[in-house]
Structure 1
Amino acid sequence: MRAHWKRIAGVVCGALMLATASAAAAQTPGNGQIVGPGGLATGARSFSTKLTDPMAATVTAVTPTRLDRQRNRNGVYTRNPSVNEVVSAAQSEINTANVDCRVVEASLMGYNFEQQAVYEVSCGTGMGYVVGASSPPTVTDCITIAGRADMALRADPAATPVVCTLSANRNISGMVANYAREAGVGCNIDEAAMAGTSVAGNAVYEVGCNGADGYWIEKASAGWMLTPCVKVAAQSNACRFTTRDEQAATVRTWLAGTSAAACDVTDVRYMGANATDAFYEAKCGGGGGYVARLNSALAVQQVLPCAQAAGIGGGCTLAANRN
């Protein structure tokens, strides 16, 4: 019996010695051993089971997203850019677009749907532009921008269209007046703006004259084309800056020194034109009327009473209307 317990004690002692040796071996890893959970040898790499607070981690680098990379390419700033940076970037876009403009002031208006920077620039003596940093850059002058904004507001007074805001770009009327003088308009201009675009794709501007008929002017490849507002009205359009009284006053100056000089013109109508001349009907306040034939310089070539002009453009219609 005593021998039996000795054998059991020996087995237990041996087991304890093996366990102690195994624990010691686990705490001091040899080749190919690591300390795992519970101190057991588990594999080929060492690691720590201590957990850290993920909110305490410091991010040192982030791979840029596709949008980030696109914005960086398009001149999108991750901070407020300096004045010099905006001017330099805007000048670069203007140069790329081959627009003759020395940028003296520029502002970063924002970004378009493609995350491309949009700038407004002023060019010193001329009209400024809105420039989009696309490839190639898009460039729109502030007169056109103002014309589009005006049309948008007339269609919807609650609209918020893009407008140029730099002080040098706000004098739209003055800039169009410069165009008008270049085109040969000699009246005292009191209002001016962009009217729209012609069928040929050219910009058309309206010029209002103080006390006289105004014009639509169009910059074509061959030069400026002038259309008196009385003619514009005959084309189912209307000049916003010219009244009927101003048109009548202009026709009175045409008829001065002719057989129709005594006509107190109250209304006028463009009748049509042939290869060299244009024809206008003038209604007289005292009754009756005349048809005047004018050349391209708006100089009167002939005046006929309405009674003698039945074969011209369908004859007089204003004089027959005594309203």
Structure 2
Amino acid sequence: MSRLALILAIGLSLLASESLAQQTLERSPTTRGRVRDTSVLLAARDAAARAGADCHVTAAALQGRDSFGDRRYEVACREGPGYLIVDGTTPTAYNCLLLESQSERLEGVSSTREVPACLLRANRNPVRHFASVATHAGMDCRVDEGRVVGLSPTGTTIYEIGCRRAPGAWIEQASGAWIVTDCLDIRSRGDLCQFTTEPEELAGFRARLAGSAAEACAPTGVRDMGRNATGLTYYELTCAGGAPVVVSLDAGRRVTNVLTCAEAAHIGDGCRAERSRPER
């Protein structure tokens, strides 16, 4: 199933019952509307824990009940995005950023029901949450944009992080560890980073060349040539004012070797830039 299909499936499963946005919030004569008292906070924390949400709940609101009578809570977390919790027989947590992305994807789709949404103030600043997620993943940049790409085959959320004047990445958490995939690699495999330009990719790659034999290369083009059995990734670099070269990077994105195109003829399909150079 594609990532988009998975996201749509989540949306349709939620829309199958009465929309959160259409629910009448439970009211109390002492709170002028939305219940925010201690009992709701404690109940929401309990529901979030039973749903397996990775969240230290700092605020909560009861968003009403669905047609099955299941309570629905929105919770804000001390770190990271909040959740909508459906406290049914099997409590389920829905990431607020994922729901926002789903809402954007479903815009224009004919429906008599509204898409569920997170309404707490703490959950309505997505860039702050994307920055928090990026920090946990070990990214060191000024985050200015972000989006939920979708779900991985194992059901983890994949985020795209956009950085100010720097290359971004796709990140996901799997088995407790964060996986960070550079936008250059995302593009080379046919996917798209919406928030990273090619000049930003090239500038980010050039920084990796510092201290290596390819330090003098100012890349005007970078092509992924594949990986070998030891985990090294090979890239062909087209250099401004110089001959193309091939570099290998380890898992830490450090240059381990620099080869001429002649030396790299056995790697993948060789240097394409070298073959396209006009004969003299």
The offset of 1:162, in angstroms, is: 2.4
Partner of residue 276, structure 1: 231
Q: Describe how 1:301-316 pairs up with structure 2 within 5 A.
A: 301-316=256-271
- Residue 270 of structure 1 aligns to a residue whose secondary structure is strand
Amino acid at match of 2:272: T
Which position in structure 2 is the counterpart of 1:292? 247
Structure 1 alignment gaps of length 5 or more: 1-75
Residue identity matched to 2:68: E
Question: Which of 71, 74, 91 is 1:137 aligned to?
Answer: 91
**Within 5 Å, which residues of 2 pair with 1:1-323?**
80-81=27-28, 83=35, 84=37, 86-87=40-41, 89-97=43-51, 99=53, 101=55, 103-153=57-107, 156=108, 161-274=115-228, 275-286=230-241, 288-318=243-273
The one-letter amino acid of 1:302's match is: N
Following superposition, the deviation at residue 99 of structure 1 comes to 4.2
Letter in structure 2 aligned against 1:135 = T
TM-score, normalization: structure 2? 0.75
Contact 2:25 2:62 in 1 (8 A): no
| Greater displacement, 122-131 / 214-223 | 122-131
Distance 1:158 1:321, change over 3 A: farther
Letter in 1 for 2:173: K
Tell me how far apart the structure 1 counterparts of residues 169 and 204 of structure 2 sit (CA, whole Å): 12
CA distance in 2, matches of 1:187, 1:103: 27
Q: How far 1:219 sits from its partner (Å)?
A: 0.6
Equivalent-residue separation in structure 1 for 2:68 and 2:162 (angstroms): 40
Q: In the alignment, is the contact (CA less than 8 A) between 2:59 and 2:77 conserved in 1?
A: yes
Q: Distance in 2 between matches of 1:105 and 1:163?
A: 16
Alignment partners' CA distance in 2, 1:98 and 1:197: 17
**Does the Cα contact within 8 Å between 1:124 and 1:168 map onto a contact in 2?**
no
Q: Which residue identity does 2:71 align to in structure 1?
A: A
For residues 78-103 of structure 1, what are the alpha-carbon distances to aligned partners after superposition, in whole Å with 9 as ceiling and x for unaligned? 97345226545534533543546554
TM-superposed CA distance for 1:196, in Å, is 1.4
Q: Percentage identity across aligned positions?
A: 36
- Relative to its length, the structure with more strand (as a share) is 2
Which secondary structure state, in structure 2, belongs to the residue aligned with residue 308 of structure 1? coil
The one-character-per-residue Cα deviations of 1:243-276 (angstroms, maximum 9, x if unpaired) are 1111110121122333333322122222211223
Task: Measure the CA separation in 1 of the matches of 2:117 and 2:157.
Answer: 18
Shift in CA distance, 253/140, structure 1 to aligned 2, threshold 3 Å: same
Provide the rounded CA distance (Å) in 2 between the counterparts of 1:79 and 1:145: 22
Counterpart residue identity of residue 171, structure 2: I
Q: Larger relative CO (CA 8 A, sep 6+): 1 or 2?
A: 2
Structure 1 segments of 4+ aligned residues over 6 angstroms from their partners:
76-79
* Number of corresponding residues: 246
RMSD: 3.0
Distance 1:181 1:125 in 2: 11
Shift of 1:306: 2.8
Partners of 2:98 and 2:274 in 1: CA distance:
40
1:116-146 CA distances to partner (integer Å, 9 max, x unpaired)?
Answer: 3322122344432101131122211212222
Q: Distance in 2 between matches of 1:220 and 1:232?
A: 18
Amino acid of the residue matched to residue 255 of structure 1? L
